[in-house]
Structure 1
Amino acid sequence: MSASTSLRAALTGALTENGTLTDPRWRSAAEAVPRELFAGSYFERVPGSVPARYRPVRQDDDGWLRGVYTDQTLITQLDGRTRPDDVEAGTDIEGSPSSSSTLPSLVLRMWQQLGVRPGQRVLEIGTGTGYSAALGAHRLGDGNLTSIEYDPVIGSAAESAIRAAGYAPRLVIGDGLRGDPDGGAYDRLISTCSVRYIPVPWLHQVKRGGKILVPLSGWSDASGPALLTMTGPGTATGRFLPGRTSFLLARTHDRPHRPPLALLPGAERPSLIDPGIIGTWTGSWVAQLAAPSAERMGAGSEQILWDVSTGSQSRTTSGPGGGWTVVQRGPVRLWDQVETAVRSWQAAGEPHQKNFGITITAGRQRVWIGAEDGPGWDLPI
């Protein structure tokens, strides 16, 4: 048995043992698809680096193959242009991840959550390295899968890797947020990039009763996976799933460029909530729903929200005699919005994201807690 086959079997066995892989057909796909074809090189973060720096890992480096078969995300592009092979061996560079091979446990969990059945047609948004598409083609057959990639360089590399692995799904270079350029009626849609809202073309390319699985995120980097069922052309309803799912934002949904942060004076008052709560997984999600145009920075009691488009800011600190203080500036009172949302969530018992749902109608996409008539917020469509 080759080293790669042995490592692949060990990873698949571990994912089965820990409960990630529950469907034997997806286990067969995981055992069959050689991940090393999709990560011939990748970036490894330099430990402790702030801002983050990355060094390339290539096939002739010690630990390359073991890294491929570790359940981790492998960064394959920085800043929308730099790939590992572009960086001189032994050096490291600063950058922001723009493409990756997502950790196998998450990819396989999402494919299982999608609930696809034999013979159904699936549209995948975000081919990336092609590893997920190869898993889908193995399980569903080449003719039932279409995968769309925005970046032509990444898409070309993915096509080569997928063909080398022995699969031939339909691959498209284009803006996946516009759906399949040839149209079509799909039974399922799965997105391997996050979006701020559900793109309207998706809602007209998935059949009534079909499903969409997509990570919703935003400019504060909070994230939640939603599983939607189509109720009609352009309308859907669904729930958020348990677990923590995080993907890179689709490039056309990403935050605007901002200049260096300059904290400015503003109106000061006591905060009615502990600012640290918006640093928790679901708390940050609620804050992002309430202030979708803001980026969140900071930690603990020192939280900063900044809306670049309006110049609005809020920042919190611990008060000298206990409690917390917030300073707000600009036309949008960001902390007021967050505070109101968090208090509604607290009144509902601080439920996890799996107790949130989403309803999509013409012109409106609303996330709610508990039931459709519960507290809720509109997504920024």
Structure 2
Amino acid sequence: MDWKPYAADLATDAAHPGSDWWAPIMETPRHMLVERWFTPGRDGWTAVDGPSDERAWATAAYSDSTLVTRIGPVHADHAVTGQAVTGHPTSSSTLPSLVVTMLRHGRLTPGVRLLDLATGSGYSAALACHRLGDDLVTTLDVDPYLTAAAAERLDRIGRHPRVVTADANNELPGTFDRIVSMVSMPRIPVQWLTALAPEGRMVTTITGTGLIITADKDDNGGATGRVEWDRASFMATRAGEDYPPGLNDLFATAVEDDGEVTTSPFPVLDVMQAWEVWSMLTLMSPGIEHRTGTADDGSHMTWMLHPDGSWARAYTPAGEDITTVHQGGPRRLYNLLDEVRWRWLEHGELPVYGALVTITPDGETTLSRGAWSLTL
């Protein structure tokens, strides 16, 4: 395959001439790191075999898009061609522009030792090796197949970072000047602070939000930073082969039960597409699962589910301006959403982006901006 013209187009999309990341993108054969991937369909996810159609392979590999490589416990390398797989994505090759965004926030100056968390396909490690040199890059993933496959493919393209199979929530394998995570975390593990060198820098996203946190290590062993103004969202960290099952039983309740019926003055919102609202709501109540659908009259519907048994269902009947809300369980989730939306109207913004981040030596992380503060 003559992949270099495709890589040049990708470099144009994900960076710019003169950028520190221009050459790494142009000179990294992403297609060799992602030989098979999944595409969604009506019946589930179907694996695509790159080598069987080189043009489609090149087009997909050098697009600025995420390629899903694992559904539940099934990697695309092991999926049966033409047979749909059901479940949620558990690994991917993240869109290159987002990989570069995270690495840029890491400020990868010459000589720094980098820990690249969530190896995935190995693409972020390959770009980092181009910038820093193989000896300064360690890449880590919890999945032994991912690390083994990435190590073999990285070796094939001439990149040899240290590849480690481990849980990012546990002790990390060494001391690093930079920790850049391509997986989201519910909070900052204290082990990251222990592994971070003096004046070192960490970059991560918070699970269930669009928030990028950057923080530099303090003399006291904690760290101080901020929530960046740009946004990103990654898959959540996991300890096993798959994520816990979704709240399908609770969803059935939320579909059928009347619960407590109230109204809301706001139109139905696809919360996960409203990043600022979604992030604020998650910080207030982590773990909410959002689903959307269509009512019989064609109106948009939304459901909110929580592991504590709380649920909400909302829709705006056709021809009406008021949203009908059904809620049940120990908490009223939709009330929390309306509280966030009222705050946005009253202040013209929400305080999450641009917030100061303070991390104590034991990992307690507090976000604050103006009179608002919240501890993860």
**TM-score, scaled relative to structure 2:** 0.86
- The SS at the match of 1:9 is helix
Structure 2 residue 330 is the aligned partner of structure 1 residue 331:
yes
- How do 1:166-181 residues align onto structure 2 when only pairs under 5 Å count? 166-181=158-173
From the superposition, tell whether residues 363 and 39 of structure 1 become closer, same or farther in structure 2 (CA, over 3 Å).
Answer: closer
In the alignment of these two chains, the number of paired residues is 361
Supply the AA of the counterpart residue of 2:8: A
Deviations 1:43-102 (A, max 9, x none): 2233xx3x643232331225112211111111111112x222323334433332111111
Distance in 1 between the 2:300 and 2:358 partners? 33
What is the aligned partner in structure 2 of residue 366 from structure 1? 366
Supply the AA of the counterpart residue of 1:364: E
From the superposition, tell whether residues 147 and 363 of structure 1 become closer, same or farther in structure 2 (CA, over 3 Å).
Answer: closer
- The SS at the match of 2:200 is strand
Q: Is the 8 A contact 1:287 1:342 kept in 2?
A: no
Q: Is the 8 A contact 2:113 2:136 kept in 1?
A: yes
What is the aligned partner in structure 2 of residue 283 from structure 1? 277
Q: Is the 8 A contact 1:53 1:93 kept in 2?
A: yes
What is the aligned partner in structure 2 of residue 24 from structure 1? 19
- How do 1:98-247 residues align onto structure 2 when only pairs under 5 Å count? 98-181=90-173, 183-184=174-175, 186-218=176-208, 222-247=209-234
Distance in 2 between the 1:242 and 1:86 partners? 39
Of 29, 39, 43, the match for 1:44: 39
From the superposition, tell whether residues 123 and 22 of structure 1 become closer, same or farther in structure 2 (CA, over 3 Å).
Answer: farther
Q: How far apart are residue 207 of structure 1 and its match?
A: 2.9
- The SS at the match of 1:59 is helix
Of 254, 257, 265, the match for 2:258: 265
Q: How far apart are residue 120 of structure 1 and its match?
A: 1.0
Deviations 1:275-329 (A, max 9, x none): 4273522112222222213212226863322112x21112223378633333332
Q: Is the 8 A contact 1:241 1:353 kept in 2?
A: no
| Structure 1, gaps ≥5 residues long | none
Supply the AA of the counterpart residue of 2:321: G
Q: How far apart are residue 130 of structure 1 and its match?
A: 0.9
From the superposition, tell whether residues 57 and 352 of structure 1 become closer, same or farther in structure 2 (CA, over 3 Å).
Answer: farther
Of 282, 288, 295, the match for 2:289: 295
What is the aligned partner in structure 2 of residue 376 from structure 1? 373
Q: How far apart are residue 40 of structure 1 and its match?
A: 1.5
| Structure 2, gaps ≥5 residues long | 294-298
Q: Percent sequence identity over matched residues?
A: 28
From the superposition, tell whether residues 352 and 59 of structure 1 become closer, same or farther in structure 2 (CA, over 3 Å).
Answer: farther
Structure 2 residue 59 is the aligned partner of structure 1 residue 66:
yes
Deviations 1:234-268 (A, max 9, x none): 52232223344221111149555433312233233
Q: How far apart are residue 274 of structure 1 and its match?
A: 4.5
Distance in 1 between the 2:283 and 2:214 partners? 18
What is the aligned partner in structure 2 of residue 347 from structure 1? 346
- The SS at the match of 1:358 is strand
Of 311, 316, 319, the match for 1:318: 316
Distance in 2 between the 1:257 and 1:280 partners? 22
Distance in 1 between the 2:323 and 2:83 partners? 44
- The SS at the match of 2:269 is helix
Supply the AA of the counterpart residue of 1:53: W
Q: How far apart are residue 353 of structure 1 and its match?
A: 5.2
**TM-score, scaled relative to structure 1:** 0.85
RMSD: 2.6
Supply the AA of the counterpart residue of 2:335: D
